Structure 1
Amino acid sequence: NEKWVLVQWINLKVSLSSCLCVSQELIFCGCTNGIVRIFQAHNLHYLANLPKPHYLGVDVAQGLEPSFLFCRKAEAVYPDTVALTFDPTHQWLSCVYKDHSIYIWDVKDINKVGKMWSELFHSSYVWNVEVYPELEDQRACLPSGSFLTCSSDNTIRFWNMDSNPDSPWQRNIFSNTLLKVVYVENDIQHLQDMSHFPDRGSENGAPMDMKAGVRVMQVSPDGQHLASGDRSGNLRIHELHFMDELVKMEAHDAEVLCLEYSKPETGLTLLASASRDRLIHVLNVEKSYNLEQTLDDHSSSITAIKFAGNRDIQMISCGADKSIYFRSAQQGSDGLHFVRTHHVAEKTTLYDMDVDITQKYVAVACQDRNVRVYNTMNGKQKKCYKGSQGDEGSLLKVHVDPSGTFLATSCSDKSISVIDFYSGECVAKMFGHSDIVTGIKFTYDCRHLITVSGDSCVFIWHLGPEITNCMKRHLLEIDHQEQGQQNTKDGKWSSHPRQEACTSSKICSLSPGEQTEDELEEECEPEELLKTPSKESLDPGWETDPSKGVLI
């Protein structure tokens, strides 16, 4: 009940201070523009300022020397300090900044503050993740095991978790895992998280552009080009050696939802882009990304597009109109054209799809939480199984591992599942993200699963040894099959399935590429390839009431 009296106060001389941390001897005040002021706790005597972090828009790849951090750029804007915590044991101060970067400063001697650790993360919704292909060292633009993420903060970030000190790739002073940041626009208004300050707008007082951000991206199979599409419909092509922007075109009238390069086995180098404007553009990579064809089959947003086939190239697309279109490429006098061969109409919205390594099957993530597997040649449904163990939500993403053994799915209930591709058995289920999972990818070494989410986080999951070993065994079997196929002159194959595949692992089912007698008979009937499957030919057991309210 005592009357509180103001004994002492001090002017921080900043426009805003948002956090405070107090120890027995020191007071730390976090302020705007990267400022952290240090005062004595007993008398509020000013002692020093912490060094500022990186400026917004910094090229982290150029920060190879420690002195780069303390070089000041004229008219630079620094991220606001939003959280502080002090470790009295080590005398370390941890700072969280508004662009979602984290620094740990050693403040044993406040006149000689040193940086112990730092990381620069996405500051907004992360939309997509892509794993850089495994290439020979002289052809690779990025180290082995690298992956890329894109976000509504208008950046594409290149990551690598390899901590090998003998790596020829030199690390920067800002992060042990972040290799490079590509800023697709010159403005910095989206680099700071404004979700908790909606009324402040951008730094210069202009209204925030809510449609900003990189929505989707795709790395070319040769690892030389990066295609990205933003939420305004623009398509960009970056060259990955020097990160130069080669092409920028206003490809669509709405946000680009999917991009796909054709496989090198097809002998063609194409890029397909699809959008919320219901159009698919097919671009010729070898002709400086000139337009080859525009397809308008879909009547709603196109959610996924994939190329399939080893010799005869196919294009498969699905959308919010509940349709899957199968197309084959034909070379005409006026260029390459894709012609529709099959149209499958489902009773549920289709959100994503992926093709397995054999190019024979495409797995589709559906709104009713089922995964439907179709034959890429004839469009027939081969399997249907649950893609999520929960009873609510919709499947949003699906990805088949590099061996074609398992697939990973994400559901709108924020769960992630790893499922046996052939049996449909769920072998793992994970939670962790606080928002929906927007992207999911297996790494090529079969050891990790990478997920990205609307919570601005990137998670790297370590797969169990049983899953990894099974995937690697299947990859070896595929290599042996390909070698045997090259050595077989008459081209005849035994129709008997190999029973010895993965008998030592309970979670492994039918080997990838291995066919049942029924499937072989279907592929021997050419007249079936021209038919569109009817409702009666589909498995009736999957029909459920689709859930509502999922936003693409």
Structure 2
Amino acid sequence: MSAEGSGTIRRRIKNLLRSPSIKLRRTGAARNQNDLSGKVTLEKVLGITSLGNRALSCDPRTGLLAYPAGCVVILLNPRKNKQHHIFNSSRKAITTLAFSPDGKYMVTGESGHMPAVRIWEVSERTQVAELQEHKYGISCVAFSPNGKYIVSVGYQHDMMVNVWNWKKNVVVAANKVSSKVTAVSFSSDSSYFVTSGNRHVKFWYLDHTKTSKVNATVPLLGRSGLLGDLRNNFFSDVACGRGRRSSSTFSITSSGLLCEFNDQRLLDKWVELRTSQATCLSVTEEFIFCGCSDGTVRAFSPVDLHFLCTLPCPHRLGADVASVVHAR
């Protein structure tokens, strides 16, 4: 085709795009889209994309349950069986989340390149702060018990642990971690936190005299747990002790061991859960609950790791609970 012929075709296309009928179609399509967005609302989300305890959080004050499904955070009121939703504006999948100690805020981490740690106001379901210091996905997040700091741990290729003073929007301490990390837990006095993962349990200490500096990010001091004969295990979850056992740290291995670290970071006690796999852990002043395979939950005493009981398994999906009650 000659240059003159191609130029004629370009002029005809330009004139066609400038015609009133084309503009009218575009305007009509945009108007229909706006009308549709005002009419369509999300009522309920079926399913969950949680990879473990790190993406499931409960507000102890209200009982509100939070978990992710793709780029949406579901806020479930179990008493009313009603959902509210938080939409991640970046459209990246939520990988981890946690409530603040007072339940007013929630922190989320996401996957993808250059992910953000986001803070949301729960009642308004709006974003109030954002931190972008990771590069390759965020594995787990947690608020400190005093509500001042947020710790975020990146994926294994990201290799970063950041402590964020979120109200001042500054990273106050940071360091690198080479292992795959799947869980994090703060001590009750907010003086340190513990990470766990593949052949990894590490204690990270916050120097409040240094982290109070606004304009400087200080190196985060970390000390590895003394794992002994269990050094080749995958420590799937971790929880710092509460109350009288606040000096202890508890962790479970994916192979089915409940472990206790003393105040010297030494793994000096462990018991078998008698299960093929253990996935999650929850610790109170009086109980240790271990989530195992096949929906099994076993309870132990935090004082001496004494086995207390196995909780009844929930009924299977679709079972008519009322018929079972009436039969009895």
Q: Distance in 1 between matches of 2:315 and 2:117?
A: 29
Partner residue in 2 for 1:306: 185
2:110 matches 1:230 = yes
Whose helix proportion is higher, 1 or 2? 2
Q: Distance in 1 between matches of 2:131 and 2:188?
A: 29
Three-state SS of the structure 2 residue aligned to 1:74 is helix
User: Are residues 125 and 238 of structure 1, via their aligned partners in 2, closer, same or farther at CA, if it must alter by over 3 Å?
Assistant: same
User: Are residues 279 and 336 of structure 1, via their aligned partners in 2, closer, same or farther at CA, if it must alter by over 3 Å?
Assistant: closer
Partner residue in 1 for 2:270: 384
2:252 matches 1:361 = no
Q: What count of residue pairs does the alignment treat as equivalent?
A: 267
Unaligned runs of 5+ in 1: 1-71, 80-98, 100-118, 135-143, 163-175, 188-211, 435-454, 458-552
Alignment map for 1:80-99 (pairs within 5 Å): none
1:145 to 63, 83, 88: 63
Residue type of the partner of 2:162?
H
Moved over 6 A (4+): 75-79
Three-state SS of the structure 1 residue aligned to 2:47 is coil
Q: Distance in 2 between matches of 1:78 and 1:291?
A: 39
2:58 matches 1:181 = no
CA positional deviation for 1:409: 1.7
CA positional deviation for 1:433: 8.9
Checking the alignment, whether the CA contact within 8 Å between 1:318 and 1:351 is kept in structure 2 is yes
User: Are residues 429 and 258 of structure 1, via their aligned partners in 2, closer, same or farther at CA, if it must alter by over 3 Å?
Assistant: same
Three-state SS of the structure 2 residue aligned to 1:120 is coil
TM-score normalized with structure 1 length: 0.44
Checking the alignment, whether the CA contact within 8 Å between 1:130 and 1:148 is kept in structure 2 is yes
CA positional deviation for 1:131: 1.5
2:235 matches 1:350 = yes
User: Are residues 425 and 293 of structure 1, via their aligned partners in 2, closer, same or farther at CA, if it must alter by over 3 Å?
Assistant: same
Name the % identity: 13
1:287 to 149, 153, 168: 168
Q: Distance in 2 between matches of 1:411 and 1:245?
A: 35
2:129 matches 1:247 = yes
CA positional deviation for 1:398: 0.8
1:353-374 deviation digits (Å, cap 9, x = unpaired): 0112132111111122101011
Q: Distance in 2 between matches of 1:241 and 1:77?
A: 23
Alignment map for 1:450-461 (pairs within 5 Å): none
Partner residue in 2 for 1:62: none
Q: Distance in 2 between matches of 1:371 and 1:284?
A: 33
Checking the alignment, whether the CA contact within 8 Å between 1:309 and 1:360 is kept in structure 2 is no
Alignment map for 1:87-166 (pairs within 5 Å): 120-127=44-51, 128-134=55-61, 144-152=62-70, 154-162=71-79
1:410 to 275, 282, 291: 291
2:36 to 36, 56, 74: 74
Alignment map for 1:186-197 (pairs within 5 Å): none
Q: Distance in 1 between matches of 2:204 and 2:131?
A: 25
Q: Distance in 2 between matches of 1:186 and 1:287?
A: 23
Q: Based on CA coordinates, which of the two structures has the bigger radius of gyration?
A: 1
Residue type of the partner of 1:306?
S
1:327 to 198, 204, 212: 204
Question: What's the Cα RMSD here?
Answer: 3.1
Alignment map for 1:485-500 (pairs within 5 Å): none
TM-score normalized with structure 2 length: 0.71
Residue type of the partner of 2:206?
A
Residue type of the partner of 1:237?
I
2:258 matches 1:371 = yes
Q: Distance in 2 between matches of 1:186 and 1:337?
A: 30
Q: Distance in 1 between matches of 2:315 and 2:234?
A: 24
Q: Distance in 2 between matches of 1:158 and 1:75?
A: 22
2:195 to 317, 321, 345: 317
Checking the alignment, whether the CA contact within 8 Å between 1:417 and 1:430 is kept in structure 2 is no
Unaligned runs of 5+ in 2: 1-33, 319-328
2:93 to 202, 209, 213: 213
CA positional deviation for 1:237: 1.1
Residue type of the partner of 1:234?
A
1:115-154 deviation digits (Å, cap 9, x = unpaired): xxxx8243343442212142xxxxxxxxx322222223x2
User: Are residues 183 and 354 of structure 1, via their aligned partners in 2, closer, same or farther at CA, if it must alter by over 3 Å?
Assistant: same
Three-state SS of the structure 2 residue aligned to 1:245 is strand
User: Are residues 185 and 287 of structure 1, via their aligned partners in 2, closer, same or farther at CA, if it must alter by over 3 Å?
Assistant: closer
Residue type of the partner of 1:247?
A
Partner residue in 2 for 1:94: none
Checking the alignment, whether the CA contact within 8 Å between 1:125 and 1:151 is kept in structure 2 is yes
Checking the alignment, whether the CA contact within 8 Å between 1:305 and 1:315 is kept in structure 2 is yes
1:27-54 deviation digits (Å, cap 9, x = unpaired): xxxxxxxxxxxxxxxxxxxxxxxxxxxx
Q: Distance in 2 between matches of 1:424 and 1:386?
A: 11
